[in-house]
Amino acid sequence: KFFKAFQANPRLNIVIKTMQTSAIDIIHFLIVFLVIFFVFSSAAYVFFGSRMKEFSSMSRSMMYCWRILMGEFDVEAMEVVSAPLAYLWILVFQFLVLQVLLNMLLAIIMDTYAAVNVPGAETIWAQIREALHTARETRGHLDMWNLICE
């Protein structure tokens, strides 16, 4: 219901159409993302779980992997377990999940946006200017609301 207000403006409606059109592709992408994320979380649990509190359970491992995606992690703590393994795991995780999958998600959204985009749609500023112009032109007219409703 919140986004229905955007439908009045063709340019703002592009956001809604993009979300609606790309929803199926994004759901399929999320399935692949979650499988890969679960595999990396499981690997981190196996590799680092016995020596690091952050990976001591699957749920903690998944939460810490999410924090790694957000850029918040302590590589020094992972080095204590095995420096080469820690660097290899982080390198592959960052490359595959952040670089490849994030760019795939952006490509899905941008491709849908390009297909939905209406090149000749009037901008919000042009619509505001037109509404103000109409308001100025009709300023002296009778208020129809009072004539009809009273």
Local structure of residue 52 (DSSP, 8 states): -
Q: Which domains does the chain have, with CATH numbers?
A: 2-120 (1.10.287)
What is the residue-level pLDDT of the chain in tens, covering all 150 positions? 666 777 777 777 888 888 889 999 999 999 999 999 999 999 999 999 988 999 999 999 999 999 999 988 888 888 888 889 999 999 999 999 989 999 999 999 999 998 888 666 667 777 788 888 888 887 776 666 666 665
CB atoms within 10 A of CB 89: 19
Residues 122, 65 contacting (CB under 8 angstroms): no
